[in-house]
Amino acid sequence: RQAQIGVTGLAVMGSNLARNFARHGHTVAVHNRTAAKTRALVEEFGHEGDFVPAESAREFVAALERPRRLVIMVKAGAATDAVIDEFAELLEPGDMIMDGGNAHFEDTRRREAALKERGLHFVGCGISGGEEGALNGPSIMPGGSAESYRALGPLLESISAKVDGEPCCAHIGPDGAGHFVKMVHNGIEYADMQLIAEAYDLLRKVAGYEPAQIADIFRKWNTGRLDSYLIEITAEVLAHTDADTGGPFVDIVADRAEQKGTGRWTVQTALDLGVPVSGIAEAVFARSVSGHAELRAAAADLPGPERPELHPDDAARFTEHVEQALYASKIVAYAQGWHLIQTGGEQYGWDIDRASVAAIWRGGCIIRARFLDEIRAAYRGGQAPVTLLTDPTFGEALRAAQNAWRHVVARATELGVPAPGFSAALAYYDTLRAGRLPAALVQGQRDYFGAHTYQRTDKDGSYHTLWGGDRSERKE
Ligand code: 2AM
């Protein structure tokens, strides 16, 4: 019997994806470099659906109906290239190779171009939702040709998360578009997590609440506009008690946040494309600084302000302000992410539907949230806003939140509690709304020391002032 789809690379993500296909009634060929894993998968989960185990690459390819749909789930980087090379030899024109790993979109572009020469479709596909999502319904972001989506899309849509009956899977655009959008998803995820962590820190250090109380605050927030997977799990983590010490779990975890690199890629790409993603950058740097034990130890005795205890009424009011600041900062982080998607789409000619990206992130992925309905609405039909900040719904939320937002950032600063995410988000907001920026002065400095020239507000052309001479102005 012939399989509709094949999965090679049967670590947890690959196994779960294969099981998800099988549970949805698809016949799935399964293969792994080490064949013992293939046998183990079929032994343990064979009853869940129709698996065709293959011991060799050749057997695996022969098991697939044509055009072949082959999913690679191995480590990003050299392993992915090795597996692509191995299978490209065995495939025929029209066959499809989908890479469901976390590849860099530039690698995906390179691989797609190389395989196209051989008549093969290469689909770089972002998959979000972790191991649990891969099994029960992830958010899926496939790139590659429209033709490959016609063949692969229905299978992918069938295994994706669903929201209001809509699959959390859509064709993002050609070549690297899917992995690009997945990368931005992760960058936004870093920012969202950092903002939530700052809200916790302020509620603890300024308002004086204990982790269990803050868990309750987050649970309450999760019934409102902040309703999201990340807020939900944050409440769970904060409510958790360490079995060894009997104290809050959050107090015994080493405070060094690690990273696998997709947040860094997002910021590097944004720098290359000239897109200000300051909220995401601060989140990446916040993880980085947390890991610099030597810097933190050296600076531990630097002076800070006194922190007075808050009256319970003031703590309750401050909590409301933190909710406003968190929501406003979150809007900024997502606005920056969508700006990056827009610019990447223009730079690489992808024509990405930004409403559809919001739609497929409503379920399955780590940043899934009610909030994404609003972003979808902002980009759906009519004129897309230049920035999410000026969309009527978000603009109104920012207008209502801005005083509380400023108050929270000011209190954090006065009391010496670092809030880089909240602060960067507010600075971005104020930068965009400022009529004049001191960038004018920077242009003057550049012209002074480097004769870099400047433009004037009142007439066209480039100008240079003879700073070392009589300071007269020349049109260049
Ligand atoms: P393995 O079980 O034989 O190690 C995660 O590492 C998955 O990627 C595993 O299924 C692993 O196979 C597979 N993998 C890693 N490097 C590989 C390579 N160079 N070729 C084939 N499979 C590889």
**DSSP secondary structure, 430-450, as one string:** HHHH-SS-THHHHHHHHHHHH
> What is the percent of the chain with per-residue pLDDT over 90, rounded to a whole number?
98
Question: Which residue lies with its CA nearest to atom 16 of ligand 1?
Answer: 79
Both tokens of 41, joined, read 């998968």
pLDDT grade, residue 423 (50/70/90)?
Answer: very high
Could you tell which of 10, 16, 33 is best to mutate to test the pocket of ligand 1, judged by most ligand atoms within 8 Å of the CB?
33
Q: Residues 284, 286, 287, 291: is their CA dihedral positive or negative?
A: positive
Phi/psi of residue 257, nearest 5 degrees: -85, 130
**pLDDT tens track for 433-449:** 999 999 999 999 999 99
The mean pLDDT of 263-274, rounded to a whole number, is 98
Q: What is the DSSP string of 239-294?
A: H-B-TTTSSBGGGTS-S-----SHHHHHHHHHHHHT---HHHHHHHHHHHHHT-HH
Within 13 Å and on the Cβ side, how many CA atoms surround 385? Answer: 20
Q: What atom of ligand 1 comes closest to residue 8's alpha carbon?
A: 10
CA–CA distances in Å: residue 60 to residues 4, 29, 97, 155, 454: 12, 7, 13, 19, 63
Q: How many CB atoms lie within 10 A of CB 392?
A: 10
Say whether pLDDT at 383 is over 90: no
Could you tell which of 16, 31, 71, 75 is best to mutate to test the pocket of ligand 1, judged by most ligand atoms within 8 Å of the CB?
75
Q: Which residues line ligand 1 (CB under 6 A)?
A: 9-11, 32-34, 37, 74-75, 79, 82-83
Say whether pLDDT at 463 is over 90: yes
pLDDT grade, residue 1 (50/70/90)?
Answer: confident
* C-alpha radius of gyration, the chain, whole number: 26
Q: What atom of ligand 1 comes closest to residue 9's alpha carbon?
A: 10
Angle, in degrees to the nearest 10, between helices 177-205 and 211-221 = 130
Q: Residues 294, 297, 301, 304: is their CA dihedral positive or negative?
A: positive
How close is the Cα of 77 to the center of ligand 1, in Å? 12
**pLDDT tens track for 8-59:** 999 999 999 999 999 999 999 999 999 999 999 999 999 999 999 999 999 9
Say whether pLDDT at 218 is over 90: yes
Q: Is the ipTM of this complex over 0.85?
A: yes
Say whether pLDDT at 215 is over 90: yes
- Among all residues, which ones are annotated catalytic? 182, 189
- Please, are residues 236 and 211 in contact by the beta-carbon 8 Å criterion? no
- Please, are residues 176 and 268 in contact by the beta-carbon 8 Å criterion? no
Alpha carbon 200 to its chain centroid, in Å, reads 21
CA dist., res. 412 & res. 318, Å (int): 11
Span between the terminal Cα atoms of the chain, in Å: 74
Question: Which residue lies with its CA nearest to atom 8 of ligand 1?
Answer: 74
The mean pLDDT of 317-342, rounded to a whole number, is 98
- Looking at residue 367, its pLDDT comes to 97
Decide the pairing of beta strands 51-53 and 28-31: parallel
- Looking at residue 134, its pLDDT comes to 97
**Residue written as token pair 């739609």:** 359
**pLDDT tens track for 298-321:** 999 999 999 888 999 999 999 999
How close is the Cα of 57 to the center of ligand 1, in Å? 13
Say whether pLDDT at 279 is over 90: yes
CA dist., res. 276 & res. 366, Å (int): 23
How close is the Cα of 34 to the center of ligand 1, in Å? 8
Number of H helices, E strands in the chain: 19, 12
Both tokens of 60, joined, read 């695996």
For residue 48, give the DSSP letter.
Answer: G
Question: Which residue lies with its CA nearest to atom 19 of ligand 1?
Answer: 79
Say whether pLDDT at 416 is over 90: yes
- Looking at residue 381, its pLDDT comes to 79
- Looking at residue 382, its pLDDT comes to 78
> What is the percent of the chain with per-residue pLDDT over 70, rounded to a whole number?
100
Q: What is the pTM of this model?
A: 0.97
CA dist., res. 203 & res. 199, Å (int): 6
pLDDT grade, residue 113 (50/70/90)?
Answer: very high
- Looking at residue 299, its pLDDT comes to 98
The mean pLDDT of 233-256, rounded to a whole number, is 98
How close is the Cα of 83 to the center of ligand 1, in Å? 9
Q: What atom of ligand 1 comes closest to residue 34's alpha carbon?
A: 3
How close is the Cα of 74 to the center of ligand 1, in Å? 6
Nearest to 105 by CA among 120, 82, 124, 88: 124
